[in-house]
Amino acid sequence: MSEVGQFESFLVTVSNHIAHVQFNRPGALNSMNKTFWLELPRCIEGIERFTDARVIVISSTGKHFSAGMDLAVFSDPKAVPMGGDQSRMAENLRRVVLQLQATLTSLESVRVPVLAAVQGGCIGGALDLVCAADSRYCTEDAYFAIKETELGMTADVGTLQRLPKLMPSGVVRELAYTGRKFGAQEALRLGFVNEVFATEAEMLEGVFKVAEKIAANSPLAVTGCKEMLNYSRDHSVADSLQYMATWQAGMFRATDLMQSFQAKAQKQTAKYDDLLPVRNLFEE
């Protein structure tokens, strides 16, 4: 794991093609401080570049998944100057928000699926984060809230853009306008989470079973699924079908298909090659 890096905010392990990223500041309710926002994209990039992970599980430690954005991020005068020309301050703030958005979009952009396992509170920026995951699971005591509204600001790093594609628009609007909490059973009923578990241990066991099934499939097929599903969410059916045809023409090869058929015929588990590692074009 030395190539992935050591992090203040996370514990990272990789085993059996599954990367496990655990938020590791329970004493601070796993709030998303400046270090968190800097480390998360580096963590995801490191997993993609330097490990054989085919799926990422994100979980947390302590009573709560995350209390969300540490407001000290916006009180750092180096990041958000509070004096000077108003137009220049506004331009700077826009770039700060875009950087925060890009941090969470890294979960969407990474070519492997991301599964989020939530216990306790998932508040504000943490809700923005799990909205960018591929699938969500939670414990019975979990709850979610678009907390920014109650604080006098508009949520700005992804919830308002992604949540309406995951839940009915009218419900999302109510949650955004009121800032009220919604619990595990409501999240399940609305389709926001895939499954609710009695305890954190049972949740992690269940999520890792899902991850194991994903990791057992052809990684090329799985990354193709993620690419197509994300594209289809943001484009028309006609455009998405066109892109699917082009993707299949360029990416489909019979190798993994034949390995699958042979394994089934022999009543064995298919063994697929990993995807080629992501590399910087100019690396040695």
Residue 2 has pLDDT above 60, yes or no: no
Question: What are the tokens at 191?
Answer: 């389709």
Specify the pLDDT at position 1: 45
**Residues 112, 49: contact at Cβ < 8 Å?**
no
Specify the pLDDT at position 282: 64
* Angle between the N-to-C axes of helices 237-251 and 219-234, in degrees from 0 to 180, rounded to the nearest 10: 160
Lowest mean pLDDT, pick from 49-63, 85-99, 160-174: 85-99
As a whole number, the mean pLDDT across the chain is: 93
H or E stretch at 181: strand 181-183
- The pTM of the full predicted model, rounded to 2 decimals, is 0.93
Residue with tokens 């595990």: 184
Lowest mean pLDDT, pick from 10-19, 68-77, 169-178, 194-203: 68-77
Specify the pLDDT at position 283: 64
Report, as an integer, the average pLDDT of 27-51.
95
Terminal-to-terminal C-alpha distance of the chain: 20
Specify the pLDDT at position 231: 97
Report, as an integer, the average pLDDT of 165-190.
97
H or E stretch at 227: helix 219-234
Report, as an integer, the average pLDDT of 37-66.
96
Sequence letter at residue 281: L
Q: Please determine, looking at this structure, whether the domain spanning 10-216 carries the CATH number 3.40.50.300.
A: no
For residue range 113-152, list pLDDT tens digits in order: 999 999 999 999 999 999 999 999 999 999 999 999 999 9
Q: What is the number of alpha carbons within 13 Å of residue 227 lying toward its C-beta?
A: 15
Residue 186 has pLDDT above 70, yes or no: yes
The band of 279, judged by pLDDT with boundaries at 50, 70 and 90, is: confident
**Residues 104, 129: contact at Cβ < 8 Å?**
yes
Lowest mean pLDDT, pick from 13-22, 76-85, 94-103, 220-229: 76-85
- CATH class of the 219-265 domain in this structure: mainly alpha
The band of 195, judged by pLDDT with boundaries at 50, 70 and 90, is: very high
Domain 10-216 identical in fold to domain 219-265: no
Specify the pLDDT at position 281: 66
Tell which wins on pLDDT, 56 or 256: 56
Region for residue 213 given its phi and psi (left: phi exceeds 0; alpha: psi -120 to 50; beta: otherwise): alpha
The band of 284, judged by pLDDT with boundaries at 50, 70 and 90, is: low
| Nearest residue to 60 (alpha-carbon basis) of 129, 159, 132, 162 | 129
Query: Domain limits of the chain?
Result: 10-216, 219-265
For residue range 229-276, list pLDDT tens digits in order: 999 999 999 999 999 999 999 887 778 888 888 888 888 888 999 998
Lowest mean pLDDT, pick from 83-92, 96-105, 205-214: 83-92
Specify the pLDDT at position 172: 98
